[in-house]
Structure 1
Amino acid sequence: MKVKCPACGAVASLDALLSHDGAREAVLVALQLPAPLGKRLIQYLGLFRPATRELSFDRLATLLGELVEPLQNHRFSRGGRDWGFTNEMMAAALQDMLDRRDAGKLTLPLKSHGYLWEVLVGLCDKQEGRKENAREDQRRFAPSGWRKTSGPVSAADVASTAVQTTEARQRGLQAMRDALNKTST
């Protein structure tokens, strides 16, 4: 059976490819990667191809092997910290790398996945910032005295909380009035 490379158009026998140890390992590793990222991963791996020769199967297997665990666990370590990511975030990071290549902003060939991890750190950092802002907005704009719940709340509970909050405010106002009356006499 003949197969054609979608990146370079090379045609080869599948049997011949799988008889090569590096090619066989690359195929086995590739089968462990998330399918939705496949096309972008192939294009990304092309960023490692030297200008004067082809990317060897052994090098391809090594590069894919370095991606398997992070892609399966949706976690990687960078800068002494563990980062979590989604497939969508990885797809965006890969696309960013390809866009930078197209704009001539990458020095090729790449030597490691370091730049990919840095792009992904930036995306993770932005997502964490959005989540933190949402938590702060929720905390800041939630009426004081209201309980945070994780499920349905009865109308009686809401009314009780509102009455308690109103009573507490009235007590506070009365205490301020009393203090003002004492200072004026």
Structure 2
Amino acid sequence: MKLTCPSCGAVHSAEAWSNDANARQCMLIVAELPTEVSRRAIPYLALFRPTSGRGLSWTKALKLLKELKDLVADASIQWDRSPARANQIMAWADAMERVIQRPPRDLPLTKHNYLRKVAYQLADEIDQGDERNFNRRERAGAVLPAEDFSERSGGDLEPVLSVEDMQKIRKKNLPSYKKPSHRPNFT
């Protein structure tokens, strides 16, 4: 069985692809990526091919895929000292699609910075849209139940305690302060 790379056109047997350890590791990483991102990973890697016409080495592809996997797995996206935004898988997938469809003029790419910039812009747009919807609902008088807010923020919130409850907890947990009966001698 012959396999053809859709990005570079290389033709090899399935055994040849699977014999190279770096090639196997690359395919494993692509398979572990979220579906929306993994479908675009190989065409995205084509943007890193050298201008000399040589194919991208498996070692370089492995390095790039590991970096991409880390970027997609991070909790947030940040670009150029801008505030961090929540990481969105669709922001990465859409950013990859945009970069593939409209690559920068100075190819080959050397780092993921251009992709990071586009993904950040998309995540920022998503956050702004969420914030506009939240403000619109708030102005309309819709009170968010605690469960709705918890889902919106990732579900990591704990119930909020009142000041009185906090004071009770402090009184229970703090040992009572007793004035010493004598002064210590430090000399």
Match of 1:139 in 2: 138
One-letter amino acid of the structure 1 residue matched with residue 64 of structure 2: L
Shifted more, 113-122 versus 85-94: the winner is 85-94
TM-score relative to the length of structure 2: 0.66
* 1:4 Cα offset (Å): 1.6
Shifted more, 67-76 versus 128-137: the winner is 67-76
Match of 1:154 in 2: none
SS in 2 for 1:12: strand
Contact 1:34 1:72 in 2 (8 A): no
TM-score relative to the length of structure 1: 0.67
Give the Cα–Cα distance (whole angstroms) in 1 for the partners of residues 59 and 40 of structure 2. Answer: 20
**Structure with a larger share of its residues in helix:** 1
Residue-by-residue CA offset, 1:47-74 (whole Å, 9 max, x unaligned):
1111112110100011101111333456
Contact 2:91 2:120 in 1 (8 A): no
Q: Does 1:56 align with 2:51?
A: no
Give the Cα–Cα distance (whole angstroms) in 2 for the partners of residues 35 and 149 of structure 1. Answer: 32
* 1:40 Cα offset (Å): 1.9
Contact 1:76 1:83 in 2 (8 A): yes
Give the Cα–Cα distance (whole angstroms) in 2 for the partners of residues 32 and 130 of structure 1. Answer: 29
Where does 1:153-164 land on structure 2 (aligned, <5 Å)?
Answer: none
Q: How many residues align?
A: 144
Contact 1:94 1:116 in 2 (8 A): yes
Structure 1 unpaired stretches of 5+: 152-185
Match of 1:156 in 2: none
SS in 1 for 2:102: helix
Shifted more, 24-33 versus 105-114: the winner is 24-33
Contact 1:74 1:87 in 2 (8 A): no
Match of 2:184 in 1: none
Where does 1:22-101 land on structure 2 (aligned, <5 Å)?
Answer: 22-52=22-52, 53-72=54-73, 75-79=76-80, 82-101=84-103
| Runs of at least 4 residues off by over 6 Å | none
Match of 2:122 in 1: 123
Residue-by-residue CA offset, 1:145-175 (whole Å, 9 max, x unaligned):
xx82529xxxxxxxxxxxxxxxxxxxxxxxx
Give the Cα–Cα distance (whole angstroms) in 2 for the partners of residues 74 and 34 of structure 1. Answer: 14
* 1:77 Cα offset (Å): 4.4
SS in 1 for 2:3: strand
Distance 1:139 1:34, change over 3 A: closer
* 1:123 Cα offset (Å): 0.8
Q: CA-atom RMSD, angstroms?
A: 2.4
Distance 1:14 1:150, change over 3 A: same
* 1:87 Cα offset (Å): 2.8
